[in-house]
Amino acid sequence: MKIRRATEADEAVLRELWEECEREVLSPPPSPEPQTWEVEWVSVRANVADGAVYLAEDDEGVAGVVEASAPVRGRAHVVLVYVRPRARRQGVAKALLAECVRDSKEKGASLVSLDVLTTNTVGRAVWQQLGFMEVQLAMATPLDVLERRLAAQSSGTSRSSTHVQSDDSVSIERALAQFVPRLDSAEVRSTPNGWIRIADPLLDTDREAQGRLAKDISERIGGVVVALALEVEAVVRFRLYENGRMVDEYLSVPTFYGELPKGDVLALEANPTLVARLTGADREQVRRNVRTAISPADLPPAAELYEQVAALMGLEA
């Protein structure tokens, strides 16, 4: 295997390697205006002149490439490392990198950086083995998604209510006074279905305050409490407490406020068995109707879903 410096005369093969890499390693989310070689060549040509661009050649021709920018304030940035499938697992990438490191060091670099996709678990592991550490996280979202969520969260209103499985309103009012005396305007009333409903303007837009209230009351009475909320007119949430411990949480669009690990998304699905046991709801109706989705548009209108969830549990929303 031969490693040599690339020149402008190598434009054709550099383009081939770049295009192969682009096809193999697509960057999510896809750009609405994909990069063209004509634009890419401007920076590649600059790196050929002042940075470190090297090619690996075997008996069949060019097998791989490494491209790094010229050092800026002591930092060189690796733009591209690509080895064709036929030459992989033969140390080609490391040989290319070694030459790149030598060249960059001679030009004054003392630090090297690179970008890697979060989905590229194999690549990330390799770079970590070579000493690279995560120092920055780049995030992206389609513009229309951001626009919709900004509009929803700025213009939508929220409302919530807390429901205690009890008919002892006197004890609930005492608990409110002892644990949360700040709720001077709280409305506490019994409902026909055996629940006591608590509502207060302070809780309508404060998810964490409502959760603390539900937990406190559940712990105080040693029973079941449901914190139900319609958030920014877009999503429905409930949290189910038993003896002071949250045993289930549901959010109609788990990723509405941002991307989550798969496990967290699954954890925000309703547990029909628990809901049925603790509220008396029909398990199959909960399973069919209290669903999650990737967008509010894939579910009934949030206000309608809010009323539906409340009705299934026997609550007055």
Backbone φ, ψ for residue 4 (5° rounding): -140, 160
**Amino acid of residue 273:** T
pLDDT, residue 51, reads 96
> Measuring CA to CA, how many Å separate 173 from each of 166, 169, 181, 198, 217?
12, 6, 10, 10, 10
Helix (H/G/I), strand (E/B), else coil: 270: coil
Global pTM value: 0.53
Under 8 Å between Cβ of 63 and 87: yes
Q: Which two tokens stand for residue 239?
A: 């949290």
Three-class DSSP labels, 276-294: HHHHCCCHHHHHHHCCCCC
**SS3 assignment, position 69:** coil
pLDDT tens, N- to C-terminus, the chain (317 residues) = 899 999 999 999 999 999 999 888 755 555 556 788 999 999 999 999 999 999 999 999 999 999 999 999 999 999 999 999 999 999 999 999 999 999 999 999 999 999 988 878 888 899 999 999 988 888 777 777 777 667 655 656 678 889 999 888 888 877 777 655 555 567 788 888 889 998 877 766 678 888 888 998 899 888 899 999 998 888 999 999 999 999 999 999 999 888 889 999 999 999 999 999 999 999 999 999 999 999 898 999 999 999 999 999 999 87
Beta strand 196-199 with 235-242 is unpaired
Q: What is the pLDDT of residue 188?
A: 82
Q: What is the pLDDT of residue 280?
A: 93
Can you tell me the distance from the alpha carbon of 310 to that of 314, in angstroms, rounded to the nearest whole number?
6
Instruction: Return the exposure string of 4-35: e unless at least 16 CB atoms fall within 10 Å of the residue's CB, then b.
Output: eebeeebeeebebbbeebbeeeeeeeeeeeee
Q: What is the pLDDT of residue 273?
A: 95
pLDDT at 149: 63
SS3 of 117-139: the string is CCCCHHHHHHHHHCCCCCCCCCC
Predicted local distance difference test score (pLDDT) of residue 168: 82
Per this entry, what is the length of the chain?
A: 317
pLDDT at 105 (0 to 100): 96
Cβ atoms within 10 Å, residue 106? 10
Q: Of the candidates 186, 179, 180, which has an alpha carbon nearest to the alpha carbon of residue 204?
A: 186
The SS3 call for residue 74 is coil
For residue 304, the tally of other CB atoms under 10 A from its CB is: 11
